[in-house]
A and B are shown apart, each in its own frame.
Chain A
Amino acid sequence: MNGLPLLSLLIAIPLIAGGLCLFLKAERARWTALIATLIDLALSLYLWAQYDPDGAQWQFVEKLPIGGGVSWALGIDGIAMLLIALTAFLMPICIGASWRSIERRVPEYMAAFLLMEALIMGSFAAQDLFLFYIFFEGGLIPMYLIIGVWGGAERIKASYKFFLYTLLGSVLMLIAMIYMVGAAHTTSIPALMAYDFPVEAQRWLWLAFFASFAVKMPMWPVHTWLPDAHVQAPTAGSVILAGVLLKLGGYGFIRFSLPMFPEGSYIFIPLVFALSGVAVVYTSLVALVQRDMKKLIAYSSVAHMAFVTFGLFAMNRQGIEGAMLVMLGHGFVSGALFLCVGVVYDRLHTREIDRYGGLSDNMPGYALLFMLFTMASVGLPGTSNFVGEFLSLIGTYHASTWAAVVATTGIILGAAYMLWLYWRICFGTQRNADAAAMTDLSAREWWLLAPIAVAVLWMGVYPETFMRPMRNDVGRLLTRLERVAPAGDSRLTLGKGAMHMDHGATH
């Protein structure tokens, strides 16, 4: 590589810009934030270009001991690189989405967002266990403020719930981390990923990590903080929450639970599958009856995240790659859907589905893009989510037929609630005069949604771009999981394709 500590820069730029924002007036703070996030995006694209998918597992490695056994150790593999790119891609969009809708205390808002970006980047790049924890947990503070200061009417309750729920999940993980460091005598994540803990210990360690990641993910039944947080958060807050913060849970499973505790993961496959199965069916049904658009999308997030856990714990290539693609795709699509809600919310200041209707007449551009993202969320072939969901379902099928059957109902239910939502908002008669008078997308809104639309289609048509960087890393993870991967009950064999003369057919 080259001499520049790229990953440190990626973290430092938003941090410095965030500090700067606090001393600026509103308009300048907006521009500072936008420029800083765009620089980060450029940097992360450069990172992607420089990343060698066939190279070493950990690239762009930096290490600077701090003392006490901890070091400022950064480094990424393909999986982390993709998630960093996702974060960097969504951040300027978030800043743009808040351009006019946030009027109050703008410099602080921008500072909180930039701090958040720095901490998320840090969590994905950290190669030291405690450094990871500091970044991971630190993300709570800016998100608490974003929900609490700039949120809706019930913002205070939602912000407390978000903070304390996720904190409670994470502290057990900290104890597990301390134990691991004590047992393995290293805080280096790559070293720990190759360390074999005793099976009995793995059970407890796995559960402690699960407590944290399941809340973050979120999995049923610890998902209840998410709808509240989403509904109360400002639009950009929801985008970043759904788009990136939830991915920390999935990333945690890939980076920690699976490679560090393979036996532990194996033991708890039934638990994960059961919870994911309930999540798919139950939260989809809950989404079906929501009257609030954001709540509906929030519940759909829980259902989609269940595909991720299904895929990951299938422990085969299709499952894990599919899970990663679902995460990326969901990052784009749910972010875009929250933006779509934000577009109409900015005009009418209500998220009640019944207050809208027939928007395709007065907002054709909006209806077009909303349609694309709805279809992507449903998993229509040609869009990003199809690839991920399909792969993850195949993976699940390899591991367990019944799990796959339950998981697949999610696709049907997903189509039901998303299409119905779209129908109620964009089609039908225009019942409300104020909704009918709304103007179509502004240039700024086009600029926010169009890049996501391109990404969604790109991923749907040519997923190789996204699968290439992680292929070798998934391979390494699979070698680690080889000894425990479930055999599966589907008895799949490569068909021999009997020759016609073998069974004596005549023409």
Chain B
Amino acid sequence: MGRFGPVLPELILSIGATALMMVAAFAGRRGSTLVGWLAVALLIGATFALIGAPSHAGPVFEGIVTADLFGAFGKAIIFPAAAVAIIAAHGWFERGTEHASEYSVLILFSAVGMSVMVSATSLISLYVGLELTSLASYVLAAYRRTDERSAEAGLKYFVLGALASGILLYGISLLYGFTGTTAFAGVAAAFGRGAPSLGLLFGLVFLLAGLAFKISAVPFHMWTPDVYEGAPTPVTAFFASAPKVAAVLLSTRVCLEALGPATDAWRQIVIVAALASIFLGAVAAYGQTNIKRLLAYSSINNVGFALIGLAAGGPRGGSAVLFYMAIYVVMTLGAFLCVLWMRDAEGRPIETIESLSGLSQTRPAFAFALFIFMFSLAGIPPMFGFWPKLVVFQAAIASGYVALAVAGILGTVIGAYYYLRIVKVMYLDEPAEPYARTREPVQGALVLLAAIVVSPLGYLLIGPLGALTDRAAGSIF
């Protein structure tokens, strides 16, 4: 047990997922609700298994993965986010014929992959974790296989994802070829020996390009709007939350730990990607009429802000990234849970922004929740979404990147326009046809919880969460 203690959460999820797959196979469609709740229980169990000494055990299995606070922090975001994605699907697929229990199982496998991603300290485990997550994601995107858009999303995601994996793998092989090791520590040592050779730089660039695809940073963002729009909404909620956190944290660990000595080499790439993501994410969202596409651009925009923290570098920058992603997940999941409730009288999902028209008069609480999420995503105080942005700008300015911070903050003003548009549609326009009411008390409670966290009450979290992210980021240095 001692040997496996540090990977207890992954064990719980892997064994549990395999067992649930059997249940799903034999119970068929009837067992889907049961499997869903069991999967949620497994994820909660795995989250609790993070508490305690084994999660700080340091490198395990000959340094392929490590158990440190950085990884544990990532998992503590990823597992609950995955659980929310399973709860979000409850009541979504029932109507059609396609909801089988495999949805929950796929999310569990994906969670295992992400958990490997955030604790990987070797290029090989990095790739294995990433691929496990991606494979599950491709299937999830195409989950509603009778729906053309969903199938298209799945195919697009798969083709582009495979290309990105190829690029990533090429970068990994270059790094391996020029350093002779796949361990992060070894790569860092190789970069530490004077100016990096051309081969190393090529490896670095390809590695970062592959990762940029996974976090959907500009210029590798093309797939995001289409996949987010086409995939079933609970799956989109999942894509925008847990895998994104895992990929951003993975990139952070790669940049700060494996490529730490080459900071000057990757920093310019990250700065360009950050600013491009912020501005493209903000500008491209202007003309959108589909709320899922809009939230896709919003997620691109948000990743840009997280990358500003990464560009700042050092423990402070790492801490800012962690803080940003933690709050980002809450805002995004809250917003997507609201999107989930947009159904017409027959219960069919609606995705147009116009349908939100006058929501504040037909469904005040629903509108108010979305209002909080939108202003929070826009980073307008007094909503708590303001604070993570402040934290990344603080990190950037502390590292001397004032111009970067100024450019980033101007991006928030451009971005504010389209978040404001949603509020305008909900509050300023005349009521449209009201949505059908859904009976989902658990989802309602989750929206309430998320809204409270990003409301001004969230400022009470600054102390504890800030201390935690500082320690977590400190653990990779």
Footprint of B on A, CB under 8 Å? 22, 65-68, 70, 105, 108, 119, 130, 133-135, 137-138, 140-141, 144-145, 148-149, 155-156, 159-160, 163-164, 167-168, 171-172, 174-175, 178-179, 181-182
Contact = CB atoms under 8 A, between A and B. Distances in A.
Contacts of A144: 420, 423
A137 B424 contact: no
B420 to A, nearest CB: 6
Contacts of A145: 427
A80 B409 CA distance: 29
Contacts, number: 92
A70 B462 contact: yes
A171 B410 contact: yes
B33 interface: no
Nearest to A72: B459
B460 A175 contact: no
Contact of A164 (B397, B402, B405, B413): B413
Contacts of A174: 390, 393, 409
Given A141-B375, A172-B409, 14 more contacts: A66-B460, A67-B462, A134-B381, A134-B382, A134-B386, A134-B456, A141-B382, A163-B416, A171-B410, A171-B412, A175-B402, A175-B405, A178-B405, A182-B394
Interface string B391-418: 1011001100010011001101100110
Given A130-B390, A171-B413, A182-B398, A148 B428 contact: yes
13 contacts: A68-B462, A70-B459, A105-B361, A148-B427, A159-B428, A164-B413, A164-B417, A171-B413, A172-B406, A175-B397, A175-B406, A179-B402, A182-B394
Contact of A66 (B398, B410, B462): B462
Nearest to B368: A22
B59 interface: no
B382 A138 contact: yes
B326 to A, nearest CB: 14
Nearest to B463: A67
A135 B405 CA distance: 22
B380 A155 contact: no
B141 to A, nearest CB: 35
By secondary structure, the A interface counts as helix
Q: Which of B360, B413, B423 has the most CB of A within 10 A?
A: B413
B463 A178 contact: no
A160 B424 CA distance: 9
Given A156-B424, A159-B428, A168 B397 contact: no
B250 to A, nearest CB: 26
Given A130-B390, A135-B382, A149-B427, A67 B464 contact: yes
Contacts of A134: 381-382, 386, 456
Given A67-B466, A182-B397, A137 B409 contact: no
Contacts of A135: 381-382
Contacts of A167: 380, 413, 416
Given A66-B460, A164-B413, A175 B393 contact: yes
B380 A141 contact: yes
A166 to B, nearest CB: 10
A66 B410 CA distance: 28
B420 A160 contact: yes
A271 B201 CA distance: 50
A394 B199 CA distance: 72
A156 B428 contact: yes
A171 B410 CA distance: 7
B58 interface: no
Contacts of B423: 144
Q: Which of A65, A66, A159, A175 has the most CB of B within 10 A?
A: A175
Contacts of A148: 424, 427-428
Contacts of B464: 67
Contact of A137 (B380, B397, B463): B380
Contact of A178 (B394, B412, B428): B394
A68 B375 contact: no
B11 interface: no
B157 to A, nearest CB: 35
B393 A155 contact: no
B180 interface: no
Nearest to A173: B409
B420 A149 contact: no
A66 B461 CA distance: 8
Given A66-B463, A119-B382, A164-B417, A175 B394 contact: no
A71 to B, nearest CB: 10
B461 to A, nearest CB: 8
B15 interface: no
Nearest to B417: A164
A164 B409 contact: no
Contacts of A133: 381
Interface string B419-435: 01001100110000000
Given A66-B459, A164-B413, A149 B428 contact: yes
Interface string B70-111: 000000000000000000000000000000000000000000
A174 B410 CA distance: 11
Lowest 10 A-B CB distances belong to which pairs? A67-B463, A138-B382, A134-B381, A68-B462, A67-B462, A171-B409, A68-B466, A148-B428, A137-B381, A168-B413
